[in-house]
Structure 1
């Protein structure tokens, strides 16, 4: 697995992937500034800033409001049910939201809301697989980068005039 770590307007991010595509995006959420998933997971990973520069640049352009979609290959690993939910997330248009219930309904009655919420919680590529666009019926809902970041991403996508996330 190859990885790159870089500063962004939302803090340090780590992208990791292999020949199939990107597999992980990690946020620095522990206050240490470290966006790494930890030594146990990254054993044997090789830093490749140049090889992952397009992915990094696309993420930074999205956070700066200059990009609405991504052109990189992604290859998140998960169960069939998780991959179906993640594919549905990719179909939610920029600047719009769906509730967990709406997404479950769109996937068919065999998909319970708990299945959808579990798959969203396991999303290894937040931002790229836009789980921030799914909200609870009466509240914002959780997000791997925290509720404040989810609120920022949704506000950025909704605000056509600026479309920029500022560094906190």
Structure 2
């Protein structure tokens, strides 16, 4: 499988958007470890409709004008990872869940560490809201984009959620 990409500027750094012929396959961080998510080979395509729509929706999200995304996703991962990522997609805007809560939601309450590992391999950051997954104590835990970016995203969503209450 081959992928196309384009980059975009955001308030949390340069993002690399990656698409397959089936949909959005990745949103990667500026200083992402290339071993974390392997979506290669990639060819730059700044006119790809999926990537342009993703960029538009992300810009609306960062501007506080979007609370959900409608881009078709093409998650590349193991069946277990996809199960975790699907559960993560159900976390409402402005809310958080612990790794333990996600493990229970997928019917495997003892798989907390495996859920954490799958969360860390989430290829579609932001739209696949891995930033909404936190430690059981409420602390922000590991995040591929940096804990500063995670705090920014959670704050952005909290501020927007408060406007609608």
Once the two structures are superposed, the pairs formed by residues 1-168 of structure 1 within 5 Å of their partners are: 1-29=3-31, 37=34, 42-43=40-41, 45-51=42-48, 52-109=51-108, 112-138=111-137, 139-160=139-160
Provide the secondary structure at the position in 1 that maps to 2:87.
Answer: helix
* Residue 64 (structure 1) shift: 1.6
2-structure distance, mates of 1:50, 1:70: 20
* Residue 99 (structure 1) shift: 0.7
Provide the secondary structure at the position in 1 that maps to 2:9.
Answer: strand
Moved over 3 A (4+): 40-43
Match of 1:33 in 2: none
Equivalent pair of 1:65/1:162 in contact (CA under 8 Å):
no
Question: Structure 1 residues 58, 108: closer, same or farther in 2, change over 3 A?
Answer: same
- Using the size of structure 2 for normalisation, the TM-score is 0.86
Provide the secondary structure at the position in 1 that maps to 2:19.
Answer: strand
Unaligned runs of 5+ in 1: 31-35, 164-168
Q: In the comparison of the two structures, how many residue pairs are matched?
A: 156
Equivalent pair of 1:3/1:46 in contact (CA under 8 Å):
yes
Equivalent pair of 1:27/1:145 in contact (CA under 8 Å):
yes
* Residue 29 (structure 1) shift: 2.5
Query: Alpha carbon RMSD of aligned pairs, Å?
Result: 2.3
1-structure distance, mates of 2:132, 2:99: 10
Deviations, residues 78-119 of structure 1 (Å, cap 9, x unaligned): 111100000000000000001111111121136510111011
* Residue 10 (structure 1) shift: 1.2
